[in-house]
Chains A and B, each alone.
Chain A
């Protein structure tokens, strides 16, 4: 059996790659995919910890995260489409008119 630490390390690597992409990319769609990547890394962490602790509640938590992620994708993509209709661009750098 693979030690739970290796799963945690893989999840950390996936989370790191996702956060790097979120910071580097300017395309709103790619940034959204990076958020999904980070959510998946957290899910992997929960499953591994639940397995190591012999606790089913880790899988229940992943179930809830999946539901929230699905709702987030639906609303987020609708927002991206709505923004694209107004300005025909998916670049987040051009969405800078909110001023204090």
Chain B
């Protein structure tokens, strides 16, 4: 009951934030809408017992990524005169038709077919998915340790690449 109420309220906040991102003329408003969605999704993580991921979501996304977004918005200025003219003819109609077809297909599959979102639970332990630090870290450092090391390399490359791009100057010939 509490989860249902929380899901409705927080889900609405997430949807309103997402629509704000798309509709806002001012990029700062779009960033704030993104913040609302990120926090709402973090609440939904907590509801589903993914505590560590929720904390990481708030620290990394709402903290670091959004700050970076706002920093870049301030750096390159807020330009509101964005054109919405379409350069490719019929693109909107084609995309809209294809999306509508996919939505109708998926809705028909869900309503009329015997499609289930998630088949059956593979583990019988109800505590298996409580996302404490220990529970997430155990598979992370045993089964996925190679991928974990690869992400370390990826982050190093990304930081070096960002610094290289920021220092880029055109050669004056």
- A residues at B contact (CB < 8 Å): 1-2, 4-8, 10, 12-14, 16-18, 20-21, 23-27, 29-30, 32-34, 36-37, 40, 43-44, 47-60, 62-64, 66-75, 77-82, 84, 86, 89-91, 93
* Count of A-B contacts judged by CB separation below 8 Å: 215
Residues of B within 8 A of A74 (CB): 68, 158-159, 161-162
Chain B 55-91, CB-CB to A under 8 Å as 1, else 0, gives: 0110011001100110011011001001110010000
Residues of B within 8 A of A54 (CB): 121-126, 128-129
- B residues at A contact (CB < 8 Å): 3-4, 7, 11, 14-15, 18-19, 21-22, 24, 27, 30-31, 34, 37-38, 41, 44-45, 48-50, 52-53, 56-57, 60-61, 64-65, 68-69, 72-73, 75-76, 79, 82-84, 87, 95, 99, 106, 110, 117-126, 128-129, 131, 135-136, 138-140, 143-144, 147, 151, 154-155, 157-159, 161-162, 165-166, 168, 170
Question: A17 with B15: in contact, given A55-B129, A63-B140 (CB under 8 Å)?
Answer: yes
